[in-house]
Structure 1
């Protein structure tokens, strides 16, 4: 479809150029309309430039769809091409309409200075977009958090990043809310960015908490939680932690990372909290928590002589 539209745009540009050639020699307007001819010719040339530029963009986009298989890089490359072509087309049209190419470039410099002063925020966002493309703190498809906005990146435009919101004030438990959030790219230069799903290690640690009474056999309860997590996640977690350790070895950070699920203990007012720590993908956190919690609870309930749950108004 894009290729057909691209060829159609080129055809319009070609027809406009042919019309300019024909009218320039064959059209002799009346004396009262002499001033009209230059503007008609310039308008046709501007149409040819605009249509031709649009055709180039469509054909390049179609070519990128076949040659660039990574949809994230294809998205970024398409934005860069679009920006370059728009700037080139604006300069070309301005030059055609004024017949003063050097004057246009000089005027653009003066106007650019004024725009820089008047539109600092949009220009900072544009600079943020350049930073995102070059340093890649995140890209399309990543799950990120910037300030109070958290979600999956669906678009990185020149000025804003658009997220499919996760959690927010409508839902909890790492679930999508159905809303989109628009974040200025300028925030990348002034705020912390949390990326939950980077390409080289798309995993995060999470926890499932279980509250038991002080009468519980803690060794038994912890072994049950570890066993359940090992059955569901153990082997995959071990492989992924090995990758993480390789990356960690390339940094000056000395950090001990367990390659199997572990259970930590925290003291509550009238209960003991057992926190099962495990590794999973960001978009599978809640699903994994549900599966672990249901199985752990079933095994605890099957052993009432070893596991007791706290009761009372403080729970």
Structure 2
């Protein structure tokens, strides 16, 4: 049997400990409620994007509620709120600087919309697709490293949100989900240059027409939003003369996720069309080509000296 009188006496003599136990119970109930609501939303919402945002929203609201309850609970009244906040902030600033900066970074990412899940970014020298943003870390699927072009390496990278304050952030998809790309073609001197120019521009216009049309609307929005000059959206071709060949530089706009594939299509189609010109257009190379071996004359007639 529990001695109620002894229990009451213990409670009266240990008010702080009792308060801590009560708060732990409240804390547990709130955390359980957060998890139950997250599971409910996961089952009820079929759209992946909406489900992710709803779950993150519930998580943030729950954590904010816990902080406010802790401050009010242990401060005794709301009038001491600012004093407690000041002391709490000063202590954390000294002992948990990186953690606070990470939490501040997550708030900054959310409010300013620096990036969001689904964006392709480069931050702190790491490039990849953002797959999750929580209160401390940004999780990315890495691109590049030992893998060429814009392919996944297979590594999942967790990066502190504090890095949004420590350096530049390159966003490939925000506002304008297209990038400019280019490659060079060496054409041998003596080729039909006018035919080569018209052929390359025609191929580029056909393959890139979808990206050109889609990007024009987005680029107009960017020009209206930011202080930036208008740019050429259609494929362009520039020619420069070198010691060995005529260099064709093709510049074009493409979806940031299809850069490698589109470059493959352009190169393959141009190669086939050059082969069909029956020698009118010839690709140059840096190999040494021997055009003609000079004639050698050997005089076999000679007098033998004694």
Smaller-chain TM-score bracket: 0.7 to 0.9
Q: Which residue of 1 aligns with 2:57?
A: 77
Q: Write the distance in 1 (CA, Å) between the matches of 2:107 and 2:127.
A: 21
Q: Which residue of 2 aligns with 1:285?
A: 259
The more displaced of 248-257 and 134-143 is 248-257
Q: Which residue of 1 aligns with 2:295?
A: none
**How far does residue 177 in structure 1 lie from its aligned partner after superposition?**
0.7
Q: Which structure has more helix as a fraction of its residues?
A: 1
Q: Which residue of 2 aligns with 1:209?
A: 184
Say whether residues 1:148 and 2:125 are aligned partners.
yes
Q: Which residue of 2 aligns with 1:5?
A: none
The more displaced of 301-310 and 137-146 is 301-310
The more displaced of 288-297 and 206-215 is 206-215
State the superposition RMSD in angstroms.
Answer: 3.4
Unaligned runs of 5+ in 1: 1-25
Secondary structure of the residue aligned to 2:279 is coil
Asked whether the equivalents of residues 128 and 141 of structure 2 are also in contact (C-alpha less than 8 Å), the reply is yes
Secondary structure of the residue aligned to 1:163 is strand
Say whether residues 1:299 and 2:279 are aligned partners.
no
Asked whether the equivalents of residues 186 and 285 of structure 2 are also in contact (C-alpha less than 8 Å), the reply is no
Please, which of 220, 238, 258 is the counterpart of residue 245 of structure 1? 220
The more displaced of 31-40 and 262-271 is 31-40
Q: Residue by residue, what CA displacement relative to the aligned partner does 1:130-166 show, whole Å, maximum 9, x if unpaired? A: 1111111211110011131110011112222121111
TM-score by length of 1: 0.74
Q: Write the distance in 2 (CA, Å) between the matches of 1:143 and 1:286.
A: 15
Asked whether the equivalents of residues 119 and 129 of structure 2 are also in contact (C-alpha less than 8 Å), the reply is yes
Q: Write the distance in 2 (CA, Å) between the matches of 1:68 and 1:89.
A: 33
Unaligned runs of 5+ in 2: 289-306
TM-score by length of 2: 0.76
Q: Write the distance in 2 (CA, Å) between the matches of 1:109 and 1:241.
A: 51
Q: Write the distance in 2 (CA, Å) between the matches of 1:146 and 1:28.
A: 62
1:179/1:207 CA distance change after superposition, 3 Å: same
Asked whether the equivalents of residues 245 and 257 of structure 1 are also in contact (C-alpha less than 8 Å), the reply is no
Asked whether the equivalents of residues 209 and 275 of structure 1 are also in contact (C-alpha less than 8 Å), the reply is yes
| Number of matched pairs | 281
